[in-house]
Structure 1
Amino acid sequence: MNPNKIMLVGLCALSASSQADVLISEYIEGSSFNKAIEIANYGDQAVDLASANYQLRLFSNGATSATNTQDLSGVLAPGDTLVYVNSNAVIGNNDNALIPVGVGIESSVVNFNGDDALGLYANDVLVDRVGQIGVRETWSDGGASTKDQTLRRLDESTPDNNNSQEFVISSRWFNYAKDTVNGLGCIGQQACDDTGGPIDPPVSDIGQCGDPSTAIHSIRSGNILGQEIVVEAVVVGDFQGNGTDNQLSGFFVQHANANWDADAQTSEGIFVYHFNDPVTVGQRVRVQATVAEYSGGNQLKDVAALLVCGNEDLPSATTLTLPLVDQDLYHLEGMRVSLPQTLHVTPAYTFNRYGESVLSLGKRFKSTQVYPANTPEAAALADANMLNRLVLDDGLSSQNPDEISYFPNFSALNSLRAGSQMTGVEGVINYSFGQFRVQPTALPTVIDANPRTAIPELDELGNLSVASFNVLNFFTDLDIDNATDFRGADTAEEFERQRAKIVSAMVAMNANVVGLMEIQNNGFAADSAIQNLIDAVNAQLPEAQHYVAVKPQVDRIGNDMIAVGIIYQPEAVQANGDAELIRAYPFDADTAKHRVPLVQQFSMVDGGESFYVAVNHFKSKGSNCNALGDPDMGDGQGNCNGQRTLAAQTLSQFFSEKQNVLLLGDFNAYAKEDPMLAFEAAGFNNLVPMFEANSYSYYYDEEAGSLDHALADAALTARVLDATDWHINADEPTGLDYNTEYKSDAQLANFYAPNAYRASDHDPVVISLDMRSAGTISVAAQTNLVEGITSSLVFERLEGDFGEVVVNYQVVAGNADASDLALVSGELVWGADDMSSQTLSLAAYADELAEGQETAYLMLSIEQGSAKLAVSQVELLIDDATALTVSMAQAQIEVDEAAGSINIPVVLNGEATSKTSAWVLVLPSSASWRDYRAPFIQRVTWNEGESGAKNVQARIVDDRRSEAEERFKVLLFGAYPTALGNITSTWVTIKDND
């Protein structure tokens, strides 16, 4: 290497030169202090560095202002370089030295560690960079990294002067092994020769079109990595771009069908990294290049020559269906494929950043959403999910594209939601960044199979609605310059965007009670996060629907940066008593893993049942619980699963003696994981799956599942009319959220709307309930029974008619036993909206014993429904029966001779249990037939249930003669089926009136 090559040329007359000509050309982050930066002039005019105020600035550890600055001076000739090295680098002229003497200038700016950004400035304007200023991370992609590697600038690359975009190595740099320094001091990817210039490439020997060439299918099996070969094949995918438009900077070629081998496990296609010579799909090209691997995939690079040999038909596209038979698609790498199915689309977490979606045959669910962990079924579903996925890429190498190539009309108002469908997917298979992917060569047809909904879809509405909403770090304190522990918006603009989306969602839900998660834990004052949110929501609602916060008797709920909260509409519900915080293990301050649960009892303003709401946020799957002996066990449940299970058990125990309990929140556990099974064992029901078989509220690795749940005890479950996950967030691409970083001006304009969609990363859970009173079952606390009589006991349902009510009853002995009455049991049933009376018949047995009053008890309990019992026990008092007899009412009666028709009463002294008759004789005595008229024999009858007097009839004759008193006798001589009483005759005396 010639050290003079990198010295600055002397001053001379200079013409104007663009700042874009001077760029960072090499970056060395080697072992120990072996670090260097090379600056080069890529223009055709010399540049006076001092007059343009060129500076190299170091931004350590994510700083936004320079931590070290190196002023550049002198004149840099076209093609020349300027090198700065770390002052402690190993420099010398022996074999132990890494950087030769005289190659570089020592500078404190060369003090970076792979996660520090460098910026080249001219007149305080960013010209070029390595890394992203203001971000602390090791930048890497496709095996290239700013840590422990050498990066050399691609000759065709453009300045990287937009710091709002993420730093992408592969778009402008080629990477080399750690401590590679043989290119330091000259422009280009080649090593420098002894004169300080690049080593000339070898002379091309490409031959002519049609000459023998290397078969693509032999490349992987032939172990020819690093060798220069010649291939001749058809262009099947053109992603060259021009080196600056962020395509893949190359093209795919595939052999014509006639040139395929018989081995289905070898590929007939390959990617060619080359964009200097434009090609088009359908051209047969002959390429001389070097076999290489990039990011795990095969490619040809360092193209020495390229010939266009004409046009021909495209090779056949291989039909590919999901699920795959094998995840390994190397046998299709670089080849055309066609996917004939109607496929489910799930935009990846990287959809707006890298344009990636996942295609599958139907929605993929987390295995532990469907089956308990460690079961064969869960393992089988996890394996099936891996085969039922294929990445659809956008054919670009850039980040945060303004347009998604396979869905070019994407915007905040025209989203590509998870659950959309695609048909006609065609493209080329390639492997990069650890995944096989389809680079599309045609625009697929997109079907909006999962449209947005304006409000939660509930089939039935009651008089109470409750929601659970994770608001994704809603902080009023801003995390400016990433310099604080605040987790929400970084700027005032982001905060306004975030709040507008959350408010839009909450106004549309309009739930009477809302449980909140991930809200800043900064109290309840006017400037707190929860009050700020309430004020913004209330500004969009009529006064009758305004919210207030549940405020526990503390300033902060626990010690975490985030907390749970409850807000409610006082016009609909009222808070009963003070809120409670559950601080028992594992919610204690020493364990400090979960957010402290908040509990409040409510009652309906317009009457009805009271209920409890408990809002929760359990520790996440990604948290570290190793110190508690609770690591990730590899069963799909993540870290801290034991902690979450303990939390579920503690929460269940807290409510074991309470009724009408609703548990809400982000439990960080899928539906069939251990914590949710613990709730189920304690008698709680997971509500949404009761109404939606395939419920989900969240995506991770493009697999759906529910981390957010609403759980109710049996009493409250009976009142749930519907429950749903409102899919406004999980199905939406992340790029639609409130964040402004890593977005171009076009993205900021097109990807944001102040609507509910992507207000958070979790879907809200919404529940509709009927909290009307079920009423009170009323019955007399005491009743009398008579031996030999069946009596009726009347039950009434008062003050409410919600739902079906079943009352169990059982007669139990006191000092009366089974010989005195029937010890019956059974149930009384009222249907929903039924307020009728129910009658229970109780039979007391007759006997011949004089026992006095005896006692038994009717025991009552609610078997079903939430009605109350006015009494739970009825006292049954059994009286001895009086013998049933027939008697004459009186032994004697007097009548006037002028009385005419008279009635002589015969009395039954009890209630006839069947038809009862009595017979009498009317017998003359001193009165004869001329003194009265009456049938000699008469019968009187009482029907069943009758009692009291029946009459024997006679007519008195006024003979107008003066006579002494006369009388006749009415004799009771028989009765059936009862006996005769004490008075068996009545003497009737006729008083003379002459």
Structure 2
Amino acid sequence: MSLAAQDRVILTGLLDGTAPGAKPRAIELYVDGTVDLGDYVIQRYANTGTEPTGIALSGTYTDAFVYVVNGTDEFAQAFGTAGDFANIISSGTVSGNGNDAFALSRNGTILDQVGGEIGDDTDLYTDSYLYRTDNTGPDGGWVAANWTIPGNDVLDNKSLAEIGALVPFGSYRVGAVGPSVAVSPTADLGEPEKNGAFTLTLSEPAAQSVTITYELGGTAVAGTDFTDPQSGSVDIPAGTLSVPVNLTVIDDKTIEGTETIELTVTAVTDARYATGATATLSLTDDDLGSDPIGIHLVQGTTDVSPLAGNTVTVQAVVVGDFQAGLGGFYLQEEDADADLDSLTSEGIFVFASSPDVNIGDLVTVTAVVEERFNQTQLRGGDAGAMITIEAVNVGMPTAVNLALPSSDDRLEAFEGMRVSPVNMVITSVDGLERFGEIEVTSDERLVQFTECNEPNATALAAFIATQENDVVVIDDGRSGTNLRPILLPTGDPLSARTEFRAGQRISGLTGVLGYGFNRYRIQPTETDRVTLSGNERPTDAPDVGGNLRVVSANVLNYFTTLGSRGADTEGELQRQEAKIVAAMCALEADIIGLIEIENNDNVALARLVDSLSVHCGSRYRYVVSPNPGEDQIMVALVYRSDRVEESGTAAALATPASLFVGPGTNRVPLAQTFRVIDSTSPSFGETLTVCVNHLKSKGSGCGDGDDDSGGAGNCNGTRTGAARAITEWLATDPTGSEDSDVLIIGDLNSYRMEDPIDVFLQAGYQNTKTLVGDGKFPCGGGPPSYVFGGRWGSLDYALASPSLARHITGATAWTVNAPEPEILDYNTEDGGAHIYAADFYRFSDHDPIVVGIDLGQIVNKVPNGAGTASPVELQRSGESSYTFVNMVRRSEYLITNAAGQVLHRGVATPLAGTISTVGLPAGIYFVVLREPGVEIATFKVFK
């Protein structure tokens, strides 16, 4: 195709993100005119390479920005999805390391370039960005003079929201060069009677008179603070270059401080002249004076103080003393001095490390008002502030009960004030180790969207927006990173024995609501009554019943090759091993599926299995995989040789290669059949096939058509394809067992409502956690196994084939890892050496899945749900029959489905107490027994 003169594509921005996984990474394109991007390609020249990797483009756009993104979820959180930010092309190849060059080409010709010269190893944008200067490009190559280059590491330690605020994506402007209108400030205004003016100037005189229309904005209000006699337009006669815009000040009596008036040119009758020029005047208020004013006047009704830049005097009570930690203190008006406006705050931060103040002091401060890191504050002694302690131990202002959800606009009204959070649950402890902060939300932890919802981009955006209003940070009142000891909201230091976990409800806390790093934060001031409750730390392995136990456990890169993906030293490896062994010994599993074992000819696997045998009191062996794959990590099967034996031919699935071989694919699954050889077990002689898996992560992209923007994330197609291949493979009986009892376990890297899980369920497999679990958080899925970004869901599964499902007696996640602070793991960096115990807490970042099974003809008794102790139990006595045990008198019973619909009624006696479920489809049912003299008993059964 041929392009019109204005139809072109320009590289305008490049981002190297710093969120987990170095996300987001993105290239910004600007389409000037109308262009089909399918005719173009972006070429990545990695490091000093001169052979490019191509990134295909697609879609037709008109005068729009388009973003080629690695990490679409992170990009959406940083920049949103509105407007041009919805124009996303997903690509995992956008992974520049600060010295990677990217070229835009068409028909083999480079049209534009960003990131430096091809082959040059200079780091230009590591943990940073590059952005094109307006009205430049395309350049046909790299032209550094046409780019803003802020330097490396400017995005270090920045949140996604902070990255979105710092990187100027979407701001590039292009236009033809021609005559224009300039605006300049001529004279500022001041009360009571100093008028002011702007000057409008043409870059070249017009042949005929022109009319210039303008708009007036800023913090000053026309008609209240000033008047415009020209009413928004002026004429410039032919041959004249400039005219004034005169403004008349109004002397009001409102305390306003210095305000601004901004003039923007919006139209010119001669269309040759460009519009958009702006300039700003100041309007000085004469009503501020030197007497103390209310802090609410300083704060105003928006997130920016109306008195910013002015010197004010306030007198209030110190409600938070953080001079040692944050370099200042918080003041709040006494209750009697507060106004009645719900939009204004009564508190403010004073950035001053001296003089030394204490909570309860009445202090007078005269200082300059400023916005620092988006928090309104008074600048301290370094800016000439006067701070006087007037009295001590005065009464404290009343704390505000702070409930979520609450928008930032609403929280702004409490900035700097005493608050007592109510009904708060810890949703994230990810920032505890490095920043001393936790995230709390209302009622229950935040949930991953696709744990409870089908992927949908529109619904996802609304979901995230809702969640963002439902979280606030509880900080530790200190600045800096990796501070030790780690202080908890209880006031206590964190230790290996401290029970402090996500999911706990926190109550009794009072602090000051501040703002920093783009988040509202509660800085604790009163911790003596703080209590933590709920989501208790497990002390024992879960009771899942049955007589055969299978565990799926991610062991977080157990590597004997030191300094690679796991432990850095032998000491760290021993610490890691001790925690894993403690967990496996406590679980007493007969069969264990391990994920993230180093793939090094079974050296790492053999060491771990030997350690299990030594410390657990049972002899463990591992299955030799016929094909562990090419990845650095592999899956493994381990078993207690005194309880089960290998009864089939170990099988691995490595086809098709596009799904299981090479970078960006799933790890090779391993399946083996086991026979129960413990003659004391009711399952003696029975067999079971276990298939352990580790599907592709969401961390790096797999390309357009594979990555999902509706919530399932990167490589959804690769995982879905693997799920389909695995179910089809298992249907062929790859181990030769001739037994239909199959359990699929492992880290499937998919939340419950995503396509890969749907594929397994459609093949007849049942999620054991929902089959026999407690049906609780989140949305009936039972305990989640993983947390990312403070949002919870299940990535780890045990899926039972139809014939096996009826033999499942229990299944759950053992929550000893994901809710725990990361610093409790084996690593010794950043003070971790001093917060360690050789126990099973935080042996990984995923919680293991534990499954109980009874393969015998008669499975365990089903406990009854009677409120008063009843001796009656229900016991499976056949494939489709159950018998009441310990029943002493004639009783009525009924069978209902999960919706409560009665399907059958009958009478049972001590001599004829067997009931049948013949004819009922597979599912969950309830048997209700009405025995005279005893409360109604309810039994939950599965078919």
Cα distance, 1:863 vs. partner? Answer: 9.8
8 A Cα contact 2:296 2:338, kept in partner: no
Cα distance, 1:713 vs. partner? Answer: 0.9
Instruction: Report the secondary structure of 2:314's partner residue.
Output: strand
Cα distance, 1:645 vs. partner? Answer: 1.5
8 A Cα contact 2:509 2:526, kept in partner: yes
Cα distance, 1:510 vs. partner? Answer: 1.4
Partners of 2:662 and 2:817 in 1: CA distance: 34
Cα distance, 1:636 vs. partner? Answer: 2.1
CA distance change for structure 1 residues 212 and 225 in 2, over 3 Å: closer, same or farther? closer
Report what 2:338 is aligned to: 260
Superposition map of 1:22-421 within 5 A: 139-140=156-157, 210=292, 215-218=297-300, 222-241=305-324, 247-303=325-381, 304=384, 305-311=386-392, 312-324=394-406, 328-341=410-423, 343-364=424-445, 365-374=447-456, 382-400=464-482, 401-407=484-490, 408-421=492-505
Instruction: Report the secondary structure of 1:742's partner residue.
Output: helix
Pick one of 580, 593, 597 that aligns with 2:669.
Answer: 597
- 1:678 equivalent in alignment to 2:796: no
8 A Cα contact 1:238 1:250, kept in partner: yes
Instruction: Report the secondary structure of 2:615's partner residue.
Output: coil
Instruction: Report the secondary structure of 1:215's partner residue.
Output: helix
Partners of 2:798 and 2:375 in 1: CA distance: 46
Partners of 2:379 and 2:360 in 1: CA distance: 21
Instruction: Report the secondary structure of 2:502's partner residue.
Output: coil
- Identity of counterpart residues, as a percentage? 35
Partners of 1:621 and 1:593 in 2: CA distance: 11
Q: Deviations over 1:383-409 (max 9, x none)?
A: 553333221111111323304142304
Partners of 1:539 and 1:212 in 2: CA distance: 71
Partners of 1:677 and 1:211 in 2: CA distance: 63
Which amino acid is the alignment partner of residue 879 of structure 2? Answer: V
Partners of 1:327 and 1:710 in 2: CA distance: 44
Which amino acid is the alignment partner of residue 612 of structure 1? Answer: T
8 A Cα contact 2:432 2:486, kept in partner: no
Cα distance, 1:207 vs. partner? Answer: 9.5
Cα distance, 1:258 vs. partner? Answer: 3.6
Instruction: Report the secondary structure of 2:650's partner residue.
Output: strand
8 A Cα contact 1:354 1:399, kept in partner: yes
Cα distance, 1:472 vs. partner? Answer: 0.3
Superposition map of 1:736-751 within 5 A: 736-743=824-831, 748-749=833-834, 751=835
Superposition map of 1:573-652 within 5 A: 573-585=644-656, 586-589=658-661, 592-605=664-677, 606=679, 607-626=684-703, 629-633=705-709, 635-652=710-727
Cα distance, 1:382 vs. partner? Answer: 4.7
Q: Deviations over 1:940-977 (max 9, x none)?
A: xxxxxxxxxxxxxxxxxxxxxxxxxxxxxxxxxxxxxx
Partners of 2:687 and 2:625 in 1: CA distance: 19
Cα distance, 1:451 vs. partner? Answer: 2.5
Pick one of 518, 523, 545 that aligns with 1:439.
Answer: 523
8 A Cα contact 1:456 1:724, kept in partner: no
Cα distance, 1:665 vs. partner? Answer: 0.5
Report what 2:745 is aligned to: 664
Q: Deviations over 1:546-577 (max 9, x none)?
A: 111110234xx111111111111122111123
Which amino acid is the alignment partner of residue 643 of structure 2? Answer: A
Cα distance, 1:316 vs. partner? Answer: 2.4
8 A Cα contact 2:631 2:663, kept in partner: no
- 1:522 equivalent in alignment to 2:600: yes
Cα distance, 1:772 vs. partner? Answer: 2.3
Cα distance, 1:378 vs. partner? Answer: 7.0
Cα distance, 1:742 vs. partner? Answer: 1.4
8 A Cα contact 1:608 1:771, kept in partner: no
Superposition map of 1:504-523 within 5 A: 504-523=582-601
Which segments of 5 or more consecutive residues in structure 2 lack a partner in the other structure?
Answer: 1-46, 48-121, 128-151, 168-287, 734-739, 777-781, 860-874, 882-907, 924-943
Report what 2:180 is aligned to: none
Instruction: Report the secondary structure of 2:647's partner residue.
Output: strand
Which amino acid is the alignment partner of residue 757 of structure 1? Answer: Y
Which segments of 5 or more consecutive residues in structure 1 lack a partner in the other structure?
Answer: 1-60, 62-110, 117-134, 150-205, 242-246, 480-485, 776-800, 808-830, 838-859, 866-994
Which amino acid is the alignment partner of residue 390 of structure 2? Answer: C
Partners of 1:214 and 1:377 in 2: CA distance: 38
Report what 2:540 is aligned to: 455
Which amino acid is the alignment partner of residue 232 of structure 1? Answer: Q
Which amino acid is the alignment partner of residue 584 of structure 1? Answer: T
Q: Deviations over 1:340-371 (max 9, x none)?
A: 43x32234201122221222333222232223
CA distance change for structure 1 residues 804 and 657 in 2, over 3 Å: closer, same or farther? farther
Q: Deviations over 1:108-138 (max 9, x none)?
A: xxx997979xxxxxxxxxxxxxxxxxx9996
CA distance change for structure 1 residues 457 and 640 in 2, over 3 Å: closer, same or farther? same
Instruction: Report the secondary structure of 1:329's partner residue.
Output: helix
Cα distance, 1:327 vs. partner? Answer: 6.7
Partners of 2:469 and 2:402 in 1: CA distance: 12
8 A Cα contact 1:373 1:636, kept in partner: yes
Instruction: Report the secondary structure of 1:723's partner residue.
Output: strand
Larger Cα-atom Rg: 1
CA distance change for structure 1 residues 228 and 559 in 2, over 3 Å: closer, same or farther? farther
- 1:559 equivalent in alignment to 2:637: no
Superposition map of 1:726-737 within 5 A: 726-737=814-825
Partners of 1:326 and 1:720 in 2: CA distance: 47
Cα distance, 1:638 vs. partner? Answer: 1.6
8 A Cα contact 2:432 2:821, kept in partner: yes
- TM-score scaled by structure 2? 0.57
Cα distance, 1:752 vs. partner? Answer: 0.6
CA distance change for structure 1 residues 689 and 327 in 2, over 3 Å: closer, same or farther? farther
CA distance change for structure 1 residues 293 and 369 in 2, over 3 Å: closer, same or farther? same
- TM-score scaled by structure 1? 0.54
Cα distance, 1:708 vs. partner? Answer: 0.5
Pick one of 761, 766, 770 that aligns with 1:689.
Answer: 770
8 A Cα contact 1:609 1:773, kept in partner: no
Instruction: Report the secondary structure of 2:616's partner residue.
Output: coil
Superposition map of 1:790-805 within 5 A: 804-805=878-879
Cα distance, 1:271 vs. partner? Answer: 1.2
Partners of 2:153 and 2:741 in 1: CA distance: 50
Partners of 1:385 and 1:539 in 2: CA distance: 47
Cα distance, 1:463 vs. partner? Answer: 2.5
CA distance change for structure 1 residues 453 and 552 in 2, over 3 Å: closer, same or farther? same
Partners of 1:251 and 1:491 in 2: CA distance: 43
Partners of 1:546 and 1:213 in 2: CA distance: 71
Partners of 1:567 and 1:405 in 2: CA distance: 39
8 A Cα contact 1:327 1:386, kept in partner: no
Report what 2:99 is aligned to: none
CA distance change for structure 1 residues 488 and 423 in 2, over 3 Å: closer, same or farther? same
Which amino acid is the alignment partner of residue 429 of structure 1? Answer: L
8 A Cα contact 1:724 1:767, kept in partner: yes
Instruction: Report the secondary structure of 2:450's partner residue.
Output: helix
Instruction: Report the secondary structure of 1:689's partner residue.
Output: helix
Which amino acid is the alignment partner of residue 231 of structure 1? Answer: V
8 A Cα contact 1:217 1:261, kept in partner: no
CA distance change for structure 1 residues 395 and 639 in 2, over 3 Å: closer, same or farther? same
Partners of 1:307 and 1:661 in 2: CA distance: 76
Partners of 2:922 and 2:570 in 1: CA distance: 54
8 A Cα contact 2:475 2:522, kept in partner: yes
Instruction: Report the secondary structure of 1:578's partner residue.
Output: coil
8 A Cα contact 2:429 2:820, kept in partner: no
Instruction: Report the secondary structure of 1:753's partner residue.
Output: coil
8 A Cα contact 1:772 1:802, kept in partner: no
Cα distance, 1:373 vs. partner? Answer: 2.5
Report what 2:926 is aligned to: none
Q: Deviations over 1:448-469 (max 9, x none)?
A: 4233223322242x23110000
Q: Deviations over 1:777-813 (max 9, x none)?
A: xxxxxxxxxxxxxxxxxxxxxxxx9852359xxxxxx
Matched residue count: 583
